[in-house]
Chain A
Amino acid sequence: MEQVLAQVFEMQTLVLVFAGVFLGVVFSAIPGLTATMGIALLIPYTFSLPQVPAISMLLGIYIGGMYGGSITAILIRTPGTPSAAATLLDGYPMAAKGQAGKALNYATIGSFVGGIISCIILILIAPQLAAFGLKFGPAEFFALAVFGLSIVGTISGKNVVKGLIVAGVGLFIATIGMDPIGGVARFTFGSINLTSGVSFIPALIGLFAVSQVIKEIEEKATGHNKKKIKYKRERISLKETFSYWKEFLRASVIGTFIGIIPGTGTSIATFLSYNESKRFAKPERRKEYGKGIPEGVIATETSNNAVTGGALIPLLTLGIPGDVVTAVILGGLLIQGVTPGPLLFQNNGPLVYSLFITLIIANIFMLLIGLFAVRFVGKIVDVPKNVLLPIVVTLCFIGSYSLSNNLFDVWVALAFGVIGYLLEKFNYPLPPLILGIILGPIIESNLRRTIIESSGDLSVFFTRPISAVFLTIAIVSFLYPLFKDLWRKLKGKESIEEDIPA
């Protein structure tokens, strides 16, 4: 143990973890730059470093990268990363109400709590959870993704049918490119750029950031944009923070659970957590979701950082990376001569425990950086919009390009900006579109794999227990808000105020 502590608390390791967290926050806060990119760029610099400091730095970027996207999502409605897409549902409305400081503080604390709880789970029951994650076959993945899609009702606001249309459009957009089973090019219209599908991050940047810029410029012209967002430093008391303990705990468990399932990703965790938070809320509080309440920010930000510990469980115990970021971290581990898998805990115990302690330290650094940075980054909203918006749109375009040095991605960002603007103009909610694009590939590939494996027998979805549970909840979640909405419309009743402005 002394050896472990000596390695972790060495000045070099601490400085590198801090630098990693800081870079992760900065990278994910800039639209188009991701934690994955940050880790990939810094791996060459870690070649010459000893094992523990090198891996600690990469983990620091991972932790910081999960949190940083929330800053721009809250302040300027530009999610720096996909994991922050759900944060703007309540984060931006909070900023619009003059509570940007509060929203950022809740995002920081939520990210810290989620990260720490998932670390504790990782330390205590990693091997058992990893075994559970492996029980997921194509049928279970399909059911989980359909369950994820069932939250459309929650994030569609007043009009569930419009939300379902938009989700359908998202699912369809996800089919563009190579067919996941047979490799047939679909709806590419001869474009080589479309064979790998529509790039997700430029689409996300376009839908939320570019469309917002178009909207703000137009509103400035019509004079509708009278309301100016003002940043006010707001501290949250410990009592106030603890009053949301259920939110923190629930989101942490959801995030960790989603994290341990390889191939799911943080976006699903954040949307599911948001949905569950709303579902468990008292009826009068439920109406406030989407209008800017702390619960919405806590649910999403806690869950996305909880994914970090969860995703490291299959990576460290089985050597299976759950997503792109952990795949890049796996590369970094292998370069350092560390082979993750069941034998890692037996043969390289001190290293594993030093990584666990590093994770906790990285989360503490993230909390400190977050709480400190709020004082300065919050001032972004005070910059006049006629100066800020052109800079944001430029960063969106350059950031989209830098993802894969492909000009086509910039066109994607622009096209989705226009689509997002027009959809919002006609009161269509945007989050279901993103959800459709995220979940589409998972749903299709796993549906078709299940059908092939079961020789066309559809009952397999209900004979496998995990799949049956997810699908049953999903069907109820789909039908209940739809029928409620239709009934309300046909009866001519006033719609209840559950508007999602994003």
Chain B
Amino acid sequence: MKKEGFVNVIMLLLSFFMLYMVGKLPEPNATQELGPGFYPKLIIYMIIVFNVLQLVMLFLTKVKASDEASEFQFSRFFIMIAIMTGYVLSLSYIDYKIGTFLLIFSLMLLLGVKSYKLLLSVSVISVGTIYLLFEVLLNVHI
């Protein structure tokens, strides 16, 4: 099966799960002909139909190199997501200035910046600017 097909299979599984969830919504009453579940159900059916159609088309058409998803860098992708998730988590526990400094610093490192002067200056200036703009000018307390 082509790699792309897995996306459709995952979407189909999620759609069936959501259909199950729709079933748990209250039934329509006298004043609401359609009820809260009607529209989501309609959309899920639509998603299922188009996913099946896409799968059929994937099987019927010839494989073209350009159609396949490009090379996937698992390790780098997961490091990036871990850094970003760590940052968002840190916002609840430590001062955002420290978290922001670490986020910019680590992403720049990941992107290959080797000069510590640049790493430190960009991170510090960015944190300072964000503090001035959001906390001082806009009164947003993070």
Contacts and interface: CB of A to CB of B under 8 A. Distances in A.
Interface string A23-53: 0000000100100010001000000000000
Given A186-B40, A444-B39, A397 B87 contact: yes
Contact of B108 (A175, A386, A425): A386
A405 B32 contact: no
B124 interface: no
A386 B62 CA distance: 39
Contacts of A364: none
A289 interface: no
A165 B8 CA distance: 9
A387 B113 contact: yes
Contact of A452 (B31, B51, B140): B31
Given A165-B54, A448-B34, A490-B60, A391 B111 contact: no
A427 B69 contact: yes
Contact of B50 (A30, A168, A451): A168
A402 B50 contact: no
Contact of B47 (A172, A187, A407, A425): A172
A169 B47 contact: yes
Interface in A206-234: 210, 214, 217-218, 220-222, 224
B16 interface: no
A397 B76 contact: no
Given A175-B39, A217-B110, A410 B140 contact: no
A186 B36 contact: yes
B77 A168 contact: no
Interface stretch (A176-184, A275-283, A291-299): A176-184
Given A391-B122, A402-B134, A425-B69, A489 B142 contact: no
Interface in B39-87: 39-40, 43-44, 46-47, 50-51, 53-54, 57, 60-62, 67, 69-73, 76-77, 80-81, 84-85, 87
B70 A220 contact: no
A452 B61 CA distance: 45
Contact of A398 (B40, B81, B100): B100
Contacts, number: 167
A428 B6 CA distance: 13
Of the listed residues A172, A222, A389, A390, the one surrounded by the most CB atoms of chain B closer than 10 A to its CB is A390
B84 A393 contact: yes
A398 B107 contact: no
A444 B35 CA distance: 11
Given A386-B113, A393-B103, A486-B57, A411 B73 contact: no
Contacts of B133: 30
Interface string A385-411: 111011101110110011001010011
B88 A414 contact: yes
A438 interface: no
A425 B69 CA distance: 6
A338 interface: no
B contact patch SS: helix
A418 B50 contact: no
Contacts of B51: 165
B77 A414 contact: no
Contacts of A63: none
Interface in B1-59: 3-4, 7-8, 11, 18, 21, 25-26, 29, 31-40, 43-44, 46-47, 50-51, 53-54, 57
Q: What bracket does the count of chain A residues touching chain B fall in? A: 35 or more
Of the listed residues A30, A171, A385, the one surrounded by the most CB atoms of chain B closer than 10 A to its CB is A171
A250 B79 CA distance: 47
A29 to B, nearest CB: 12
Nearest to A183: B36
Interface string B100-117: 100110011011110000
A184 B80 contact: no
A395 B130 contact: yes
A342 interface: no
Contacts of B39: 175, 444, 447-448
A162 interface: yes
A173 B51 CA distance: 17
A164 B112 CA distance: 39
Contacts of A489: 57, 60-61
B91 interface: yes
A410 B85 CA distance: 10
A218 B77 contact: yes
B21 to A, nearest CB: 6
Contacts of A427: 4, 67, 69
A405 B91 CA distance: 12
Given A386-B112, A401-B140, 6 more contacts: A165-B8, A172-B18, A217-B111, A394-B103, A417-B84, A452-B33
Interface of B: 3-4, 7-8, 11, 18, 21, 25-26, 29, 31-40, 43-44, 46-47, 50-51, 53-54, 57, 60-62, 67, 69-73, 76-77, 80-81, 84-85, 87-88, 91-92, 96, 100, 103-104, 107-108, 110-113, 118, 122, 126, 130, 133-134, 138, 140-142
Interface of A: 30, 33, 37, 41, 161-162, 164-165, 168-169, 171-172, 175, 179, 181-182, 184, 186-187, 210, 214, 217-218, 220-222, 224, 385-387, 389-391, 393-395, 397-398, 401-402, 405, 407, 410-411, 414, 417-418, 421, 425-428, 444, 447-448, 451-452, 455-456, 486, 489-490, 492
17 contacts: A30-B133, A165-B8, A165-B47, A169-B47, A175-B40, A220-B112, A385-B111, A387-B108, A389-B107, A390-B126, A393-B84, A394-B103, A405-B141, A407-B91, A418-B81, A425-B72, A489-B57
